[in-house]
Amino acid sequence: MADSSTCLPLVPQSVTDAHTKIKEHIHRTPLLTSKTINDIASSPDPAIYLSDSIANPSKPFDSEHTDGVPKFNLFFKCENFQRIGAFKARGAFYAITRLIDTMTLPVLREKGVITHSSGNHAQALSLAAHTFKVPSYVVMPQISTSSKVLGAKRYAKEVIFSGSTSHEREAAMAQVQARTGAIFVPPFDHPDIVLGQGTVGREMSEQFQELLVDEKAQLDAVLSPIGGGGLLAGIATWFSDKETTVFGAEPSFQGADDAKRGRRAGSRITSVRSLTIADGLRMPVGLVNWEIVRDKKKVEEIYSVSEDEIKMTMRLVLERMKLVVEPSACTTLAVVLFNPDFRRLVAESQNGRPWNVGVVFSGGNTTVKIISTLFADDDASPKEKS
């Protein structure tokens, strides 16, 4: 990776510079709204409503707002429409272009690049490298989603499989790197990756203003998923000089909420062993990203959600917004719908008007098989369940 000492500082202007460098290679993904989901999120207990609606689809929805209940205008940044189906394309393209700047394209083509990833960064790096005719090697867990494996194989010179923990992936990568001499492009823990991912926040700001008549309106908050932390750190960097409050969202299953726990303990948690359905969020926060994520001036709070809450959110987005999103992407909206601490904060802070909240859908790389498996019990009749 490019020497950190040569990287631009982690400030909003650097995010703008990164966007200028990569915008011809990425999609400007849409910022969508949904009145139905606004109403559900602004109801007294979305969990009860959504549970009832699955069991009794004909039950009417009461959208009348109640005092003391948070009210939302939600704006969904749809990175599931990004190239390779996830935000990771942004960081990968910026990382490759920076390497070209620092070591020249012929040298980079001779050496190649390498990474380890549960899937989205693997696809993104292989695509970015292929764009510049640079060979790439990617190490992926054996349990990676099949669509992510196929996406990586489409462009990578070689795909190598490993165990699912970060230590197992890094060990497998070291063997390949020793054999090939390829340059490591980390999936999240580097300033260039942070700045590339921060372009999600920059675009969101622009698109929010384009949607509104009132030029004085602003995003009150933005929620981003957090696994390794590159996306949240980048978004927090972009909004660090603005009035928008940034929050993180992560799964709680089997200790995957390491960012939240680390902030409470006052130190970064270095190992995560979780098989949460949010497979893109199974790794600990990186060192570079931790310095941003732990800073309450940049990231107000990290909230966690359960597997059932992620599933319920995924179903809502699929059926109401007609969007294919992966479980990791659903943690943000799940916080809005179900996390009592976040909902209480909004209710106490909105001063008589709805909060304008940006919700990042980080990716859509799932499969029909995974979706059908996740929701098999929900759709089964009582006889089939027994």
Q: Where are the domains of the chain?
A: 31-84+191-379, 87-184
Q: What is the predicted pLDDT for the residue at 382?
A: 40
pLDDT of residue 214: 74
Q: Name the residue with tokens 């990716």.
A: 363
**Cβ proximity of 278 and 327 under 8 Å:** yes
DSSP state of 305: E
- Is the pLDDT at 3 greater than 80? The verdict is no
C-alpha distances out from residue 179 to 6, 72, 113, 137, 157, Å: 27, 53, 12, 11, 14
Active-site annotation holder among 88, 148, 298, 311: 88
If one looks up domain 31-84+191-379 in CATH, what number appears? 3.40.50.1100
If we measure between CA atoms, which residue out of 177, 141, 349 comes closest to residue 247? Answer: 349
CATH 3.40.50.1100 holds for 87-184: yes
Phi, psi at 27, each rounded to 5°: -90, 145
Assess whether the region 31-84+191-379 and the region 87-184 belong to the same CATH fold.
Answer: yes
Q: Which stretch of 30-34, 92-96, 201-205, 372-376 has the lowest confidence by average pLDDT? A: 372-376
Q: Is the pLDDT of residue 94 over 60?
A: yes
- Residue 224 known to be catalytic: no
* Mean pLDDT for the stretch of residues 90-102: 96
The CA angle 310-306-258, to the nearest 5 degrees, is 110
Give residue 285's identity as a one-letter amino acid code: V
pLDDT-based confidence at 60, cuts 50/70/90?
Answer: low
Summarize pLDDT for 140-198 with one digit per residue, the tens. 988 888 888 898 899 999 999 988 777 888 899 999 999 999 999 999 999 999 999 99
- Note the pLDDT of residue 386: 35
> In this predicted model, which residue has the larger pLDDT, 118 or 375?
375
- State the average pLDDT for the chain: 92
Decide if 100 contacts 383 (C-beta within 8 A). Answer: no
Given the residues 118, 147, 162, 304, select the one marked as catalytic.
Answer: 118
Find out whether 125 and 117 touch, Cβ atoms under 8 Å.
Answer: yes
Residue 385 reports pLDDT greater than 60: no
Confidence band (pLDDT; 50, 70, 90) for 374? very high
Q: Quote the percentage of the chain above a pLDDT of 70.
A: 94
In this predicted structure, the answer to whether residue 338 has a pLDDT above a threshold of 80 is yes
Reply yes or no on whether 43 is catalytic. Answer: no
Q: What is the strand order of the sheet 245-251 is part of?
A: 31-32, 72-78, 355-361, 221-225, 245-251, 301-305
Rounded Cα gap, residues 333 and 119, in angstroms: 22
Instruction: Output the CA angle 360-361-365, nearest 5 degrees.
Output: 150
- Are 192 and 198 within 8 A, CB to CB? no
Determine the average pLDDT of the residues in 259-263: 97
213 pLDDT band, cuts 50/70/90, is low
With a pLDDT cut of 90, the percent of the chain lying above it is 78
